[in-house]
């Protein structure tokens, strides 16, 4: 069986929860660690920032609630 990777940290975990994104109307597979930290996948934050405006995702960026390289302001511009 193919292992599903956590949408947020991209790691293969034994247990992933299906969690509704708090930024976009989609479901995410999130591991317990990311779920506990209230992380959203980096690309979800960027997409939400582009469609709803930087203010919408500001908290996630300021509190760094994602895994990966820092999201720059230019990435939020279309
Ligand atoms: Zn994770």
Measured between alpha carbons, how far is 26 from 1 in angstroms, rounded to an integer?
Answer: 24
12's tokens: 């293969």
pLDDT digit string (tens) for 58-74? 999 999 999 999 999 99
Q: Report how far ligand 1's centroid is from the alpha carbon of 10 (Å).
A: 6
pLDDT digit string (tens) for 38-61? 999 999 999 999 999 999 999 999
Given a cut of 80, is residue 2 above it in pLDDT?
Answer: no
Q: How confident is the model at residue 14 (pLDDT cuts 50, 70, 90)?
A: confident
User: For the whole model, what pTM was predicted?
Assistant: 0.91
Q: Report how far ligand 1's centroid is from the alpha carbon of 51 (Å).
A: 24
Q: How confident is the model at residue 7 (pLDDT cuts 50, 70, 90)?
A: very high
Measured between alpha carbons, how far is 75 from 38 in angstroms, rounded to an integer?
Answer: 22
Note the Cα 40 to chain centre separation in Å: 2
């Amino acid at each position: 069986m193919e292992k599903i990777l956590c949408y947020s940290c991209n790691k293969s975990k034994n247990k992933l929860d299906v969690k509704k994104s708090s930024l976009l109307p989609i479901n995410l597979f999130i591991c317990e660690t990311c779920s506990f930290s209230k992380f959203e996948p980096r690309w979800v934050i960027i997409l939400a920032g582009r469609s709803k405006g930087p203010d919408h995702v500001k908290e996630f960026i300021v509190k760094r609630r994602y895994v990966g390289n820092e999201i720059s302001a230019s990435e939020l511009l279309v």
